[in-house]
Amino acid sequence: MIFSVGQISGQDSSLSEPPLSVSLDLVSRYVWRGSDIGQSPSIQPCVEYSPGKFTFGVWGAYSLTPADMQEIDFYLFYSPVDWLKIGLTDYLNTYYSLADNSIFDFKNSSTPHLIESGIELSPFKIPLSFSFYSMIYGPDKKLKDPSDSLSIVNAYSSYAEAGYVKEWKDYSLEVFAGFTPFNGYYAGRFAVVNCGMSVSRNIKVTENLNLAVNARLILNPESRNIYFVGGISF
């Protein structure tokens, strides 16, 4: 579930950016929007293609131990202006969908594909960003009537986040806070579920290759959990 660690381009910043990029993240814990996913270290490859105003990507996450989280996400975003992105993400847990041969099941009532819409904004001169995401299709369900086990409807679980980034030399500091507006996947009510800070450092390995080291302190006030996650990106 994109993205856990800042991504690194394999190209020198002095050269024009190619439309195709590839990266590989290794993280000590896969924590997504304040939730511990997989409860183990994770390998996370990514391939992204960005022709013009569109961005198409494939991102994965694979737990080292135990092997109970195998995820592939497909995403498509459109950026009509530099400060705005809108798009869709398809979250797919392949550990279960491959086991029951359901990868090509796209019925809303039974599909393993979780479709989410999203919007990302950074309209100011200062490095302040806002984002909002809502699950609109797939296994994100709830009971419309708690007394009727058959009254299953989409939950439309949603998440909003604000972030501020400060960069100097080879370092980057990010402060972020995210909440869910109502009962759904993230919490049973309106709640702050993901806040903290991240520090990363870019290390130049060769003329055309950079390496990033990242440390992230994450607090989920609703679940009363705290995580300190380290990662490295190639």
pLDDT of residue 16: 60
Structural domains in the chain (count): 1
pLDDT band at 197 (very low <50, low <70, confident <90, very high): very high
- Is 7 a member of any domain? no
58 in any annotated domain: yes
| Residue 14: inside a domain | no
Query: For the segment 119-162, what is each residue's pLDDT rounded down to a tens digit?
Result: 999 999 999 999 999 999 999 999 888 888 778 999 999 999 99
Q: What is the pLDDT of residue 223?
A: 97
- Number of Cβ within a 10 Å radius of residue 7: 20
Q: Which of these, 159, 124, 153, lies nearest to 32 by C-alpha position?
A: 159
Mean pLDDT in residue range 196-222: 92
Residue 3 belongs to a domain = no
The helix or strand, by DSSP H or E, that contains position 119, with its residue range, turns out to be strand 113-121
Q: Which domain holds residue 154?
A: 20-233
CATH number at residue 226: 2.40.160.40
At position 213, the amino acid (one-letter code) is V
31-32 and 42-49 strand pairing? unpaired
Q: Which two tokens stand for residue 132?
A: 């909002």
C-alpha 58/C-alpha 37 separation (Å) is 18
pLDDT above 70 covers what percent of the chain? 93
* Lowest-confidence segment of 39-43, 64-68, 192-196 by average pLDDT: 64-68
145 found inside a domain: yes
- Examine residue 2 and state whether it is found in any structural domain, yes or no: no
Q: Which two tokens stand for residue 124?
A: 């100011």
Name the residue with tokens 């055309």.
Answer: 208
CB 138 within 8 A of CB 113: yes
* Spatial distance between the Cα atoms of 108 and 136, rounded to a whole number of angstroms: 10
Cβ atoms of residues 43 and 71 within 8 Å: no
Q: In this structure, is residue 15 part of a structural domain?
A: no
Q: Distance between CA atoms of 61 and 6, rounded to whole angstroms? A: 15
First to last CA, the chain: 18
Q: Is position 11 within any domain?
A: no
